[in-house]
Each structure stands twice: as structure tokens, then as C-alpha cells.
Amino acid sequence: MNSPGLFFVHYLMIINERPTAYPIFANIKTVAMEDLKLEELFQAKVDAELKIEPKDWMPEKYRKTLIRQISQHAHSEVVGMLPEGNWITRAPSLRRKAILLAKVQDEAGHGLYLYSACETLGATREKTVEDLNSGKAKYSSIFNYPTLTWADIGAVGWLVDGAAIMNQVMLCRTSYGPYARAMVRICKEESFHQRQGYEIMSVLAKGTPEQKEMAQDSLNRWWWPSLMMFGPSDANSTNSADSMKWKIKRQSNDELRQTFIDRTVQQAEILGLTIPDAKLKWNEDTKHYEWGDIDWAEFNNVVAGNGPCNKERLVARNKAHDEGAWVREAAMAYAGKQAKRKAA
Ligand code: FAQ
């Protein structure tokens, strides 16, 4: 307890959650509950940096916003395996293949932690997955672009994981406990992913002229879609006001995008590659890069399901789901047997 505010919130939690353990406080509880509506108590907890846990009271809109964001995040991890999985059989060496395999498996693990976090909010796994497979649910726009060359695996690690981690570090401190805890491990792994991508780009950029050209071509194609990963501009971000108030998000889409650009431009300079933006310019006064215009029509089109690979991704997910039916059945049968054995 390092502040009076935190002490007050903690005290209210004790008397609200365990009044019988503190009979002296029973009357105060009634008064406190009258004075402080549940929503205010919830907000006070959030403001005091206490985590909201699954059994705590929460506004319905908070629960829905979390289910929306966490499920979209989980779907992104799972669909995100597809563009990279495309290169596992064609990785240029055994070392590269082993690294890529490990990375793609990490993404599956991230999906699982996140689906589990989503279940703690009352969303069933079946419904969440069904929403992805039917095309109802969103996932990150970035995974609807194709990986055409080996350099794209470098660009995905460097730029896509780089953008993902920029956004996800703040989520380690998100207000919902299960999401925050899942994000700690995810961020450690994303950090390795970003470095492996940068290393691929650095080897190619220092290689033959053809290899350097391949790296540049890949940067040209992935730069703008990576900037779109941060979501619409703050002015058009419909969910941000609530998410910031509830400390689900702690930095805005535009702030994170700017930080990503500032860091990544310097990394491109070290690689000797050129960011495909004629308007890119360092501003000595703001200490930030100025940059060109994102094609929001392209973003909206991809999010609406009309990007280069949207249909292909859903076909692949549905095929994997159908072919995995026997695994789910076997797991259920095993769980049934275990339950019977325990009951006997
Ligand atoms: N694509 O009001 P906002 C990864 C939607 S994981 C598609 O600003 P919000 C790992 C948004 O859902 C990458 N849709 O929304 C990996 C909303 O629609 P709705 C994913 C987008 O939630 C690497 C509407 O636009 N990361 O890469 C996109 O406050 C390599 C209005 O937007 C996460 O999911 C988009 N890019 O802010 C895996 C992180 N952006 O639902 C494999 C968690 C926005 O109202 C290989 N998510 N929309 O119908 C977040 O931090 C947030 O959800 C944002 C969007 C920042 C993505």
C-alpha cells in the first residue's frame, strides 16, 4: 500500500468481498456500497492499478470489449502462422527451418493463452473459433498479405513482430489480470521473433546485390501494411476512449505507430535499406519522424475481407479445423475417462 488512494480501494475490496470476516465493517459495507456504486468501485480499482480478475464485478461493456480485443488478438496469432508456415518447407537451411518452426509454434501457443484468457470472461472456445471460421470475427489486417520470397520471413519478423511487440508491451500492464499475465510471456517470445527477423534482413542486406534487392523489395511491400497494424488513426478509433479509461490500452494507436516509425527508420539505416516513403523526414523540434499518408481505403478494404489473401486464410483455417475434429473428439473422450476414474 504505497498511497492513501490504493489503501482506500484495497479496504473497500476487503469489506465488500469478505464482510463476515470483518463484522466490525459490516455496516460500513452497506454505507460504502450505497455511496460508491459498483461501477465507481470498479473504476477506482482500475485507477489504483489493481488488476480486475475473472470473478470480480465488471461493467458488461468492459467484458465485451475484452472479449472482442482478446479474441481478435488470439485469431491474429493463429492466422499469423499461415504466411510463415508457407516457408517452413522452403527455408534455406536446416538452422533457418528449426528457427522458423519454433517461431510458428510460439504463435500457436500465444493463440492458446489468449483463447484461455477469453474463456475466463465467459466466452466459449467453440463459439470464439466458430466466429473466426465463419468470417464474422476480425483478425489483424497484416496476415492477409502474401509471403512471396524468403526475405518476407525476415520482414515479417522485423516489421510485423516489431509492430506487434510495440503494441503488446503496454498490454503486459493491461487492467485485466489474465490478459496481462498472458502478455508477459508472449512479449518475451515476440522479442526473439523480432530479432530473428532482423537477423535474416541483415544477412540479406549484406549479401549479393540480388539478396539486397530481395530485402528491399520485401521492405517496400510490408512497410505500409505494418503501419496499419496499429489500427485507425486516433480520430477514427471507435474503441479507444473506453479502452483508455479502463486501462485496457495505455497508449493510443497513433502514439504507438509514431514510436514504431522512430525506432524502425534507424534500424533500416543500419541495414542500408530505404523506407518506401518519400515524405519521411526527421523533425528536430519534435524529435520525431514526419511521414507520409497511410492508404486507409486499402486498410478498410482488407479489414472488410477483400485483401489479397483473406479468402485463402479462411479456407486454410476451416480445413485445419475440420481435419482436427478427431483430435478434439479424442481429447474429450480422454477427459471423460479421467473424470470417471476420479469419481470411482
Ligand atoms: N486489423 O477502435 P480501434 C501479431 C479494427 S498479433 C484488423 O482502434 P482497438 C503476432 C478494430 O478491431 C497482431 N482490424 O480498435 C504475430 C475495430 O473493429 P471492431 C494483433 C483492425 O481494439 C506476429 C476497428 O478496427 N495484435 O502480430 C485493425 O481499440 C507475426 C476500430 O479500431 C493485437 O491484436 C487491424 N490492424 O485497437 C503473429 C493486439 N486495427 O472490433 C504471427 C491487441 C483496428 O470495433 C506472426 N489488440 N482494427 O469491429 C489491440 O491492441 C487493439 O485491438 C488494436 C486496435 C490496437 C489492434
**pLDDT of residue 243 exceeding 70:** yes
Task: Give the H/E segment covering residue 288.
Answer: strand 288-290
What was the pLDDT predicted at 37?
A: 84
Q: What is the pLDDT of residues 264-294, one digit of tens each?
A: 999 999 999 999 999 999 999 999 999 999 9
Give CA–CA dist 310/304, Å, rounded: 9
The Å distance, Cα 72 to ligand 1 centre, comes to 7
Give pLDDT tens digits for 170-180: 999 999 999 99
SS3 content of the chain, % helix, strand, coil (to 5): 75, 0, 25
282 forms bridges with which residues in the sheet? 289
pLDDT in tens, 209-226: 999 999 999 999 999 999
Query: If you average pLDDT over residues 178-197, what whole number do you get?
Result: 95
Half-sphere exposure of 279 (CA within 13 A, CB side): 6
Q: Which atom of ligand 1 is nearest to the CA of 228?
A: 36
C-alpha cell at 304: 472488410
Q: Please say if the pLDDT value at position 149 is more than 60.
A: yes
pLDDT at 28: 46
How far, in Å, from the CA of 196 to the mean position of ligand 1? 23
Among 19-23, 255-259, 336-340, the minimum mean pLDDT is found in 19-23
- The answer to whether the beta carbons of residues 229 and 167 sit under 8 Å apart is yes
Residue 53 pairs in a beta bridge with none
Distance in Å, CA 75 to ligand 1 centroid = 10
Nearest CA, atom 42, ligand 1: 80
How far apart CA 115 and CA 164 sit, in angstroms, is 18
Lowest mean pLDDT among 4-18, 44-58, 68-82: 4-18
Look at the pTM and tell me if it is higher than 0.85: yes
Cα 204 from Cα 332, distance rounded (Å): 47
Pocket of ligand 1 (CB under 6 A): 68-69, 72-73, 76-77, 80, 84, 107, 138, 140-141, 156, 160-161, 164, 167-168, 228-232, 237-240, 243, 249, 253, 303
69 to 72, 130, 234, 332: CA distances (angstroms): 5, 16, 17, 28
Residue 314 belongs to what H/E stretch? Answer: helix 310-323
Average per-residue pLDDT for the chain: 92
Residue 212 CA to ligand 1 center (angstroms) comes to 31
Distance 21 CA to ligand 1 centre (A): 43
Q: Write the single-letter amino acid at 90.
A: R
Banded model confidence at residue 229, pLDDT cuts 50, 70, 90: very high
Q: Which residue from 76, 224, 249 has its CB within 8 A of the most atoms of ligand 1, so it is best to mutate? A: 76
Distance, in Å, from the CA atom of 81 to the CA atom of 69, rounded to the nearest integer, reads 19
- Residue 91, all three cell numbers: 527455408
Whether the Cβ atoms of residue 87 and residue 151 lie closer than 8 Å to each other: no
- The 10 Å Cβ neighbour count of residue 236 is 11
* pLDDT band, residue 186 (cuts 50/70/90): very high
What's the half-sphere exposure (Cβ side, CA atoms, 13 Å) at 160?
A: 27
Would you say how long the chain is, in residues? 344
pLDDT-derived band at 20 (thresholds 50, 70, 90) equals very low
pLDDT of residue 271: 98
Question: What is the pLDDT at residue 36?
Answer: 61
Q: Is 289 helix (H, G, I), strand (E, B) or coil?
A: strand
What's the CA angle centered on 196, arms 161 and 271, to 5 degrees? 90
The yes-or-no verdict on residue 40 having pLDDT over 60 is yes
